[in-house]
């Protein structure tokens, strides 16, 4: 596992964004805010950026206008927060999941996981679910099992509507 202290020291986005299956924001001791990134082959890395910054990088790579995507999500799902990211070239949806409790009200604690990479869901507590990935790794979400399933279903339904209406 490799730690990159900033986005500028990380490998070029062309080498890891097309293989991305999940990311979650973490605080590394003595290094601060990072994102734990998992790729299709099971390799992991830590990037020295926040979850929003990584979301922006993925949107730029796939030429996605996040503001328009958010408006479409509000139109189709009647929601405007926790917008799933549909990647038509990879035929998957990145589902937003809360990965931990926020230490301040401005902190973003949402990570993303690809719907096609999810192998199994296991409830750990009333408000905690472990998401097992097909790579053999797992991601702990600070959401109930029902909430995780709802977010996955809503994200897949949103992707279906975008595809059906030829928006993406």
Burial (CB < 10 A; 0-12, 13-18, 19+), residue 117, is buried
Banded model confidence at residue 168, pLDDT cuts 50, 70, 90: low
CA distance linking residue 136 with residue 166, whole number of Å? 34
With a cut of 90, say whether residue 156 has pLDDT above it: yes
Q: Which stretch of 22-26, 100-104, 130-134 has the lowest confidence by average pLDDT?
A: 100-104
Task: Please answer whether residues 119 and 104 qualify as being in contact, where contact means their C-beta atoms are separated by less than 8 angstroms.
Answer: no
Which domain does 129 fall in, by range?
2-164
pLDDT value, residue 107: 60
Strand partners, 140: 130
pLDDT value, residue 105: 60
How many folded domains does the chain comprise?
1
When pLDDT is averaged across residues 115-121 and rounded to a whole number, the result is 95
pLDDT value, residue 32: 76
Banded model confidence at residue 43, pLDDT cuts 50, 70, 90: very high
């Amino acid at each position: 596992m490799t730690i990159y202290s900033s986005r500028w020291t990380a490998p070029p986005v062309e080498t890891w964004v097309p293989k991305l299956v999940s990311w979650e924001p973490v605080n590394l001791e003595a290094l601060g805010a990072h994102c734990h990134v998992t790729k299709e082959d099971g390799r992991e890395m830590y990037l020295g950026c926040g979850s929003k910054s990584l979301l922006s990088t993925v949107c730029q790579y796939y030429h996605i206008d996040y503001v328009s995507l958010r408006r479409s999500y509000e139109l189709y799902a009647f929601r405007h927060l926790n917008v799933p990211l549909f990647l038509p070239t990879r035929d998957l949806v990145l589902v937003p999941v809360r990965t931990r409790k926020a230490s301040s009200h401005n902190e973003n604690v949402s990570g993303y996981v690809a719907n096609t990479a999810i192998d199994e869901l296991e409830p750990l507590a009333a408000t905690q679910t472990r998401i097992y990935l097909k790579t053999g790794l797992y991601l702990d979400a600070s959401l109930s099992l029902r909430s995780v399933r709802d977010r996955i279903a809503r994200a897949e339904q949103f992707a279906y509507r975008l595809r059906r209406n030829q928006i993406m």
